[in-house]
Structure 1
């Protein structure tokens, strides 16, 4: 069973069917899903949420300085983190938003030891602002934060995709799902799991990844209880180098 978990969420999970913006009802539903899955467990949960529902540098930042476009996207992740925090606390779950970009009026600065202490006090820690530097995705942020806080696993939440397939299951009816893969399998087969930087870091440090459908009823709860869900990506015999 996992004791400490890093959950990677897409910013689109907070939006309506358009995939854009923050929908309060959708956000409350996501918050309740997470809280219900945690209820009665001893799992310590940290969250990294993307900003694609508000800003995508490749799409929205055309003609802009790339670093500036990335910083705007990083600010979008703080907005999403605040929205998720509001929904979770309205449902009674204590949380802390920690930002890699200093904005102390709305979020705590990211300090590793403080983040760990929040987790030990049963607070959900939501990391915003990326890792504080441009040119890195929230996949990489998820891996970095997971290693820093000593997480047992990175849970890559998906919508309507229940694991890793050999090809896009929404386009190919004969797509085959994998129950287990090694990190090197993902690299060699060029499977779309996370960006190359994040995947390489997970492989180097022996950090397991689980890709799963968060909206399939009971999936997140089953993962917290140590059951097999989705696709497990690991390297047998490897252990993380992170220290809690």
Structure 2
């Protein structure tokens, strides 16, 4: 029976690129490693899903018409594996025990995703990074994050972004944007908000899984939120 807190943290691939917009920045890897290590030291079980947008986005790759959407999405899945291995290396350099599990079999690089094995890793205090999306095209890494969180029985999904939470409209474009500390799943699917894609939100709603949106670049944010400080984030729930 699960006794410790278990969470899944979703990072965007773009966040790894920093100001350059492409590739992986060492300073951000180190920052993420420090934040995750703090969670492990506080006896919190951690799963991670990382996007691949800093390297490849399937939908964008397919826009020109030369690359099919399915192939573009497969390329995006491979990008998430690259990012997962980078985060694994960073976490291990800080003394953490880490496993990467891929939805697509690639034994030379990582384990193939098996739900019970992932749960066992978490119980042993290992960080598990879920790579290659769901293994299927047309599904985002947001949907992957919710799916894996449900499968491993996580108590919440934390979407770590570049902003401190959710607003009723884009705060970068509108000075009168209003911060939303809590919102319903239906509100989270509105076009003006779009916390995650509709498939991800619907799956979270069906399983009453809270989604927390916070600023990943505020040191200590993740731990404070998991410990109950809701002033630092927005929460999507029933």
Q: Same fold (TM over 0.5)?
A: yes
d(CA) in 2 for partners of 1:98 and 1:188?
32
d(CA) in 2 for partners of 1:187 and 1:108?
34
Which residue number corresponds to residue 31 of structure 1?
33
TM-score, normalization: structure 2?
A: 0.93
Where do 1:230-241 residues align within 5 Å? 230-235=233-238
> Deviation at 1:192?
1.5
**1:74–1:130: 8 Å Cα contact kept in structure 2?**
yes
Change (3 A) 1:58 1:207: same
d(CA) in 2 for partners of 1:127 and 1:189?
28
Where do 1:165-244 residues align within 5 Å? 165-187=167-189, 190-228=192-230, 229-235=232-238
Change (3 A) 1:134 1:93: same
2:72 to 34, 59, 69: 69
Please, which runs of 5 or more residues in structure 2 have no aligned partner?
Answer: none
Which residue number corresponds to residue 103 of structure 1?
106
Give the ranges of 4+ consecutive aligned residues of structure 1 lying more than 6 Å apart after TM superposition: none
Which residue number corresponds to residue 13 of structure 2?
11
> Deviation at 1:183?
1.0
Q: Deviations over 1:35-77 (max 9, x none)?
A: 13x1531211000000000001233333211101100000000
Q: Which has the higher contact order (CA 8 A, sep 6+)?
A: 1
Please, which runs of 5 or more residues in structure 1 have no aligned partner?
Answer: 236-244
d(CA) in 1 for partners of 2:46 and 2:199?
23
Where do 1:15-94 residues align within 5 Å? 15-36=17-38, 38-61=39-62, 62=64, 63-94=66-97
Which residue number corresponds to residue 164 of structure 2?
162
Residue-pair matches, total: 233
d(CA) in 1 for partners of 2:32 and 2:193?
27
Secondary structure (helix, strand or coil) at the match of 1:145 reads: helix
**1:214–1:220: 8 Å Cα contact kept in structure 2?**
yes
d(CA) in 2 for partners of 1:31 and 1:231?
23
**2:16–2:29: 8 Å Cα contact kept in structure 1?**
yes
Which residue number corresponds to residue 242 of structure 1?
none
User: RMSD over aligned Cα, in angstroms?
Assistant: 1.6
